[in-house]
Amino acid sequence: METIAVLVSLLVLYVILGFKRPGITLITSPIACLLVACAGILSETLEVVLFAPVIFVATLAAVVISRREPDSEEWPQRWAKWILIGLVFLLLFATAAAVFGPLGIVGSAFFALFVMLVISYALTSRQVIAAYVLSTIGSSMRQNLPLPMALESAASGQIDNRAKILRGIKDWLVQGYSLSESIKRGFPKCPSYAMAMIAAAERINQLPTAIKAIEADMAAKVDERRKIRPVRLLYPVVLISFTFIMVLGLMQFVIPKFMDVLREMVGEAQLPAATRFLLSIVNCVVYQKAAVFWSVLAFIVFVVVPLSIRIRFRARRPEKPYLLSRIGDFIKWHLPVLHWFEKNYSLVQVVELLRLSLNSGCTVNGAISNTLSLDVNNCFKNRLQRWLSKVETGENIAASAKATKLGRPLAWAFDDKVNQGNTLSILETLESFYRSNYSYRVNLARFIIWPGVTIIMGAMVGFIVYALFSPLVAIVNQTASLVTP
């Protein structure tokens, strides 16, 4: 009874701390629950061991509920929410595997596929909503209509999510906030690159032109997502996962039976070479290296996948990038192929804002300073910062652009000796060039990679099919040799 009282007191303590001090509670609760579980194991008390996860789950629930302001969510609440979601999925997966065995694992895999499809649909829906909202704002501004009244008219008589967003932006505009701040508050899920471009264009009074360019980019992205493709990016992952599950089941339950039949018929007969090779791979991965394999699999399922979903749904923060954003930008910037795409995509936005800034009368220093607020790769932004520092110290604009490795075309646009007075027209040409070049390279990479992926997957599936059916052929041959005189 004393032990139960201590555990209940600890549970109540952590629930209260979860409401009062969510950050400290989230950090210390795993350690405390681990100590409770270790104490239960050492004392061989099952009730104490089982009470540890109860304390942890109750603490997470208290941290999630502890949010005080309805429009804010601090990091303890976010992490507690995602940990709870991960625990629910882990419980469902373990229950399905324990109750239904291999069928439960296959069902869980299909359920994960369904969740990914829902996420893909949600991302596409978000792009469509963002394109509609920005298109409404842009058309209202081009017609010189009072923006709050125009947004209220566009949302009148509608109750869907788009109308709620338009009314939210209108409410913040009426309170005197700028358009960028109103969009940030009324539409927090607006794509970060559009938000950064609007904020930068607002400072140089080039909002209509910037919004028109953003509309074109978002319309192209929405059309690209709506296209019907013969192969989805998720298809290879699903195929490999499903094939692995099937091979694991067959190698564990079917192939040993074939081996027993062959040995009964021919004594010391062996399985075909392809089957032995596949069986050795499965044994090495699942049994000999089981700890490493299952640890990596658990890390991918419960860490990589939730983080990737979180990153896809969370808007970037250009003014103060998140740690995961900085890590992702660093990795993409230093990978061979992705480096080119990151640099080209960043140059599209930088050249466009440079042209708008110079066209509005900004100095070169001010134009470069405006680009630092864009949502571009953080490593590329560091180069822009070095370029600005060199220009502010009096160095030649073109030479400093070339020295900071921003590209020869951009340096050529600011070269007074070669094209004096034509900087704006050259920047407009470069913008069109970088935009078309990016689309061309994306399509070229897709057309090159997908046939290679298809060939590799076909070869893999063909080898597995041959390795699985060759023992059956060997049994048939042995049976025929015994029957035929």
pLDDT in tens, 411-422: 888 887 777 777
**Are 3 and 45 spatial neighbours (Cβ–Cβ below 8 Å)?**
yes
CB contact at 8 A, 132 and 149: no
Nearest in space to 211 (alpha carbons), one of 96, 129, 133: 133
Contact 305, 297 (CB under 8 A): no
- Residue 231: what pLDDT? 43
User: Is 245 in contact with 109 (CB distance < 8 Å)?
Assistant: yes
Residue 271: strand, helix, or coil: coil
pTM for the complete prediction? 0.59
Task: Determine contact, residues 180/199, Cβ cutoff 8 Å.
Answer: yes
Query: For residue 250, what pLDDT is reported?
Result: 74
- Contact in structure between 458 and 448 (CB atoms under 8 Å): no
Question: What are the structure tokens assigned to 309, written together?
Answer: 């979903």
- Cβ(365)–Cβ(465) below 8 Å: no
* Region of 157 on the Ramachandran plot (φ > 0 left; ψ -120 to 50 alpha; else beta): left
Render the burial of 219-255: b for 16+ CB within 10 Å, e for the rest: eebbeeeeeeeeeeeeeeeeeeeeeeeebeebbeeeb
Assess contact for 376 and 333: CB atoms under 8 A: no
* 146 SS3 class: coil
Distance of alpha carbon 2 from alpha carbon 326, whole angstroms? 50
Residues 181-232 have pLDDT tens digits of 888 888 887 877 787 888 888 777 777 777 777 777 766 665 555 443 444 5
Which residues are within 8 A (CB) of 480 and not within 5 positions of it... i.e. 6 or more apart? Answer: none
Place of tokens 């020295």: 403
Look-up: residue for tokens 């060939």?
455
Sign of the CA dihedral with 207 first, then 213, 215, and 221 last? negative
Q: What is the four-CA torsion angle of 301, 306, 308, 312, rounded to 10 degrees?
A: 150
Q: Smallest Cα–Cα separation from 428: which of 370, 355, 344, 343?
A: 355
φ, ψ (nearest 5 deg) of residue 190: -65, 140
What integer pLDDT is reported at residue 61 of this predicted model? 80
Average pLDDT per run of 10 along the chain, which is 485 residues long?
Answer: 74 79 78 79 75 80 68 65 75 64 56 60 67 80 79 76 83 85 83 79 78 72 48 60 72 74 69 82 75 73 68 72 84 87 87 83 83 86 90 86 86 79 82 82 77 80 82 74 58
Query: Can you list the pairs that 77-82 forms with residues at least 24 positions away whose Cβ atoms lie under 8 Å?
Result: 77/22, 79/26, 80/22, 80/26, 82/306, 82/310
C-alpha separations of 432 from 54, 107, 348, 349 in Å: 59, 48, 8, 11
Q: Whole-angstrom Cα distance, residue 126 to residue 4?
A: 49
Coil vs helix vs strand at 5: helix
Nearest-angstrom CA–CA distance, 175 and 179: 11
C-alpha angle 93-94-100 in degrees, rounded to nearest 5: 85
Given this model, what pLDDT does residue 267 score? Answer: 64
Residue 484, φ and ψ in degrees, nearest 5 = -70, 130
pLDDT at 114: 59
Q: Judge contact between 293 and 282, C-beta under 8 A.
A: no
Q: How far is CA 478 from CA 263, 267, 269, 473, 474, in A?
A: 11, 12, 10, 9, 6
